[in-house]
Amino acid sequence: DDWLGKKMEDYTLRYVIRFYGQMVLSAYFFKVPHIVAYFVCKVAQLSLENGVCEHTPLVFLQLSIIIMRSGNNIACAHRIAKDAMALSERFNVSDQMAQLNLNFTNAVGHLEWFHAGAQRLRVCFDSALSSGNAEMGFFCALQLVNRSILSGEKEL
């Protein structure tokens, strides 16, 4: 818990973390899971050693996705995801809220009620469009349609 109180002051390191985040996204879409895991773990390590910044919550949500998919410790992944969302409230991450909510839903959304997950994705969609990130908004909309169909919602 000590590292949560320590804020990352080095702007160069913040840009490195942001760059690694883009590498994670690229490796994810190119379907190279071991590269995704490497960069997520690398950024998590940098955050643990140097403190938290506005990019830390997303990294720990991505880490919870990796833990969840490995099937080793679902309770740990759920706790990390919830703590990452709580950590995001410490920073002004309005431009990242869509991505944070989408990653939370992908990580541990199946542990929530389907209606709660659909509501989270609706917020994700609205947040993405209001911040001008149409690509993320439509990706959230796709997940929202899937979740709404599974939950039996009549309205999207």
User: Looking at residues 44-63, what average pLDDT do you find?
Assistant: 90
Q: How much is the mean pLDDT over the chain?
A: 84
User: Looking at residues 37-41, what average pLDDT do you find?
Assistant: 94
Condensed to tens digits (0 to 9), the pLDDT of residues 88-109 reads 888 888 788 888 888 888 888 7
4 vs 66, residue with greater confidence: 66
Residue 116 in this model has a pLDDT that exceeds 80? no
Report the share of the chain in percent with pLDDT over 90: 17
pTM for this one? 0.80
Residue 154 in this model has a pLDDT that exceeds 80? no
Query: 35-44, 66-75, 107-116: lowest mean pLDDT where?
Result: 107-116
Type of residue found at 106: N
For residues 23 and 26, give the distance between their C-alpha atoms in angstroms, rounded to a whole number.
Answer: 5
Angle at 20 between CA 76 and CA 92, to 5 degrees: 70
